[in-house]
Amino acid sequence: MKAYLQRVNPENQSVWFYSIQIQQDLLGHWQVVRNWGSFGAGGTMKQTPFDTMDKALTFMERLRNELVRKGYKVVMQEGFSAHRANPSS
């Protein structure tokens, strides 16, 4: 699962980005990996562990929805509806 969002500051046209994805580590744990920042500057990365993919996906969806409420636009996302339609995958 992945999502990429952007927000443009109308005052100076600076572009902020936020990337979110779910990854499984070598031990079978799930991680939500987030990267954010502005173009042309160093960004920030944070990993949040979860016991199950469903918990990670719920966290990711809530975060994406919160960012949209703050003015970010979803530029790309993949894997959301496929997983929710078939939770056993």
pLDDT at residue 89 in the model: 37
CATH no., domain 2-85? 2.20.140
Q: Are strands 30-38 and 15-24 parallel, antiparallel or unpaired?
A: antiparallel
pLDDT at residue 1 in the model: 87
Residue whose C-alpha is closest to residue 6's, from 53, 83, 56, 75: 75
pLDDT at residue 87 in the model: 41
Task: With beta carbons less than 8 A apart as the criterion, state whether 62 and 54 touch.
Answer: no
Instruction: Report the percentage of the chain scoring pLDDT > 90.
Output: 67
Q: Map out the domains of the chain as residue ranges.
A: 2-85
Residue range 49-70, pLDDT digits in tens: 999 999 999 999 999 999 999 9
Average pLDDT of the residues of the chain = 88
How many other C-beta atoms are found inside a 10 Å radius of the C-beta of residue 7?
17
Residue 63, H or E segment:
helix 53-69
Task: With beta carbons less than 8 A apart as the criterion, state whether 33 and 8 touch.
Answer: no
Task: With beta carbons less than 8 A apart as the criterion, state whether 50 and 56 touch.
Answer: yes
